[in-house]
């Protein structure tokens, strides 16, 4: 991804209005400070929870939303889908530590216009903002290549839900109570996830699914 200035950032043009959704206050503040130093970009607000994203977009009407994936309340991929459905004029750029190939596929499916990692230099990040604002798609080149080779998610929606609940080490009984399912149903979903991922137990199945970005 080059640092070439693209449409919408010329002299005299209105700055691109950006909202940052990032749960770590220090990271959000750093991104705000760095981006406000970039020509043609203005950070107009930020939130620290995924379930605050849609309200912020409604209130502030940003041109571009910078969105992390791992956030409390709602993950960034679900938030991206909600924003895309209700505010299609706001472009979504995923900026995350978690560069998992499966996340790239899910982000694009959710309507995101771009996907970059947090160690992207400020100049390249601001250029990515300009590009998605101009209607282009921007994906970190390495992640783009990896995502083409990554397997599709073999898990059903319910299996994903059960694996997410198992990620903290919870057993079938606790998962069943949390998801309002029977113990036997949870065990069946876990067994299916183990088989589909080629794992030897539920812990390994969760790890494989997490590493691939399926959860």
Q: How far apart are CA 57 and CA 194, in angstroms?
A: 39
pLDDT at 194: 92
Does 120 lie in the same domain as 27?
Answer: yes
How does 33-69 read in b/e, with b if 16+ C-beta sit within 10 Å? Answer: ebbeebebbebbebbbebebbbebbeebebbbbbbbb
pLDDT at 1: 42
Does 195 lie in the same domain as 134?
Answer: no
Give SS3 for 32.
Answer: helix
How much of the chain, in percent, has pLDDT values that exceed 70?
Answer: 88
Check which CATH number belongs to the domain holding 84 and give it: 3.40.50.2300
Does 29 lie in the same domain as 105?
Answer: yes
pLDDT (tens digit, 9 = 90+) per residue, 15-73?
999 999 999 999 999 999 999 999 999 999 999 999 999 999 999 999 999 999 989 99
Does 119 lie in the same domain as 71?
Answer: yes
Q: Is residue 11 part of a domain?
A: no
Asked if pLDDT for residue 175 goes beyond 50, the answer is yes
**Domain tally, the chain:** 2
Q: How many CB atoms lie within 10 A of CB 83?
A: 28
CB burial class (10 A; 0-12, 13-18, 19+) of residue 185? middle
Q: Which residue has the tokens 């299996």?
A: 159
Check which CATH number belongs to the domain holding 179 and give it: 1.10.10.10
pLDDT at 94: 93
pLDDT (tens digit, 9 = 90+) per residue, 130-145?
999 999 999 877 665 5
If one compares 123 and 4, the residue with the highest pLDDT of the two is 123
Of 116, 109, 12, nearest to 64 by C-alpha is 116
pLDDT bin (cut points 50, 70, 90) of residue 200 is confident
pLDDT at 34: 93
Does 140 lie in the same domain as 53?
Answer: yes
Overall pTM > 0.75: no
Does 69 lie in the same domain as 31?
Answer: yes
Does 131 lie in the same domain as 70?
Answer: yes
Dihedral over alpha carbons 94, 126, 13, 81 (to 10 degrees): 0
Q: Are 132 and 138 in contact (CB under 8 A)?
A: yes
pLDDT at 6: 37
Q: Is residue 10 part of a domain?
A: no
Q: How far apart are CA 113 and CA 138, in angstroms?
A: 7
End of a domain among 102, 131, 149?
149
pLDDT bin (cut points 50, 70, 90) of residue 3 is very low
Does 185 lie in the same domain as 87?
Answer: no
End of a domain among 132, 149, 166?
149
Does 104 lie in the same domain as 85?
Answer: yes
pLDDT at 168: 87
Q: Is residue 3 part of a domain?
A: no
Q: Is residue 185 part of a domain?
A: yes
Does 136 lie in the same domain as 179?
Answer: no
Does 106 lie in the same domain as 161?
Answer: no
pLDDT bin (cut points 50, 70, 90) of residue 7 is very low
Q: Is residue 5 part of a domain?
A: no
Q: Are 138 and 2 in contact (CB under 8 A)?
A: no
Dihedral over alpha carbons 102, 51, 133, 20 (to 10 degrees): -100
Domain hosting residue 193, numbered range: 157-211
End of a domain among 149, 169, 198?
149
Q: How far apart are CA 103 and CA 40, in angstroms?
A: 29
**Across residues 193-215, what is the average pLDDT?**
86
Does 91 lie in the same domain as 65?
Answer: yes
Beta bridge partners of 139: 115
**Across residues 114-143, what is the average pLDDT?**
88
């Amino acid at each position: 991804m080059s640092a070439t200035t693209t449409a919408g950032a010329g002299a005299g043009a209105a700055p691109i209005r950006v909202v940052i959704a990032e749960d770590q206050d220090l990271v959000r503040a750093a991104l705000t400070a760095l981006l406000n130093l970039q020509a043609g970009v203005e950070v107009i607000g930020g939130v620290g929870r995924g379930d605050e994203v849609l309200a912020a977009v409604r209130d502030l009407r940003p041109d571009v939303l910078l969105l992390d994936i791992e956030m409390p309340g709602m993950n960034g991929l679900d938030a991206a889908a909600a924003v895309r459905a209700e505010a299609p004029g706001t472009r979504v750029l995923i900026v995350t530590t978690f560069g998992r190939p499966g996340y790239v596929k899910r982000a694009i499916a959710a309507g995101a216009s771009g996907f970059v990692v947090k160690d992207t230099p400020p100049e390249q990040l601001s250029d990515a903002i300009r590009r998605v604002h101009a209607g282009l798609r921007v994906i970190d080149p390495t992640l783009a290549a990896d995502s083409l080779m990554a397997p599709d998610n073999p898990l059903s929606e319910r299996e994903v839900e059960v694996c997410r609940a198992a990620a903290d080490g919870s057993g079938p009984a606790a998962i069943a109570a949390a998801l309002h399912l029977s113990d036997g149903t949870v065990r069946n979903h876990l067994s299916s996830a183990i088989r589909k991922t080629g794992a030897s137990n539920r812990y390994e199945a969760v790890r494989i699914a997490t590493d691939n970005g399926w959860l």
